[in-house]
Homo-oligomer: A and B are copies of this chain.
Amino acid sequence: MAKNKNTEQKIFDAATELFMEKGVDRTSVRDIASKAGINLALMNYYFRSKENLFDAIFTNLVKENTKDLLNILDSDLGLEEKIRKYVDAYIDMLTTNPLLVPFFMAIIHRSQEKITQMKVISNLYGTEKFSQQIVDEGKAGTIRRTDPTHFFVDMISLITFPFAIRPLIMDRNEMSEEDFNNFIIERKEHITGLLLKSMKEC
């Protein structure tokens, strides 16, 4: 039982990396086995099929990377502070793992039907509490009345889309990796400012 978890984990980790880098359909089981340093058949032994392995990996990725964000949305912070923290945390997370967004985008296209049936997928989207907060503060008059659905879509669009088209932005503006990261850091303030301004009467 010693090596058991170990092998399973090695397969899982190798496949995660490869799927994110090259895409699920361009990664063969032989690639995975070779990267994990294990025998071909072990993938099947532990995960039954490649598609099954993918499901496990995808579910895990969503869970791991949305936990903190959902906690922020559901916290008792005021709206401004909450948005600031959310934008910050989200961008930090994506900077750490810049392949996440492109990978998710590819998966949405690849596994459209399957994906909406996965329970974990609701993690990718906003929370009831946050929507309510926007409505409440609108009624209270601390902010302009704002449609929470549009607002949330605005927010995640502004945060995540640049990562989806990262190669284009870099190419077009002749940015190095470092330049891009700086650009993204600039965006933290920029996005927060934009969103807050959109909620102010003026």
Contact = CB atoms under 8 A, between A and B. Distances in A.
Contacts of A103: 109
Given A105-B108, A158-B158, 16 more contacts: A102-B108, A105-B109, A106-B110, A108-B168, A112-B167, A116-B167, A121-B171, A126-B172, A149-B183, A150-B186, A153-B161, A157-B158, A157-B162, A164-B164, A197-B197, A200-B202
Contact of A161 (B106, B157, B167): B157
Contact of A110 (B23, B124, B153): B23
A164 B121 CA distance: 15
Interface of A: 23, 25-26, 102-103, 105-106, 108-110, 112, 115-116, 121-122, 124-126, 147, 149-150, 153-154, 156-158, 160-162, 164-165, 167-173, 183, 186-187, 190, 194, 197-198, 200, 202
6 contacts: A103-B109, A105-B164, A112-B167, A116-B168, A157-B157, A197-B197
Contacts of A165: 108, 124, 156
Contacts of A169: 125, 153
A2 to B, nearest CB: 37
Contacts of A197: 197-198, 202
7 A-B pairs with least C-beta separation: A105-B105, A157-B161, A25-B25, A106-B109, A202-B202, A102-B109, A116-B171
A194 B202 contact: no
Contacts of A157: 157-158, 161-162
Contacts of A170: 116
A194 B126 CA distance: 20
Contacts of A109: 23, 102-103, 105-106
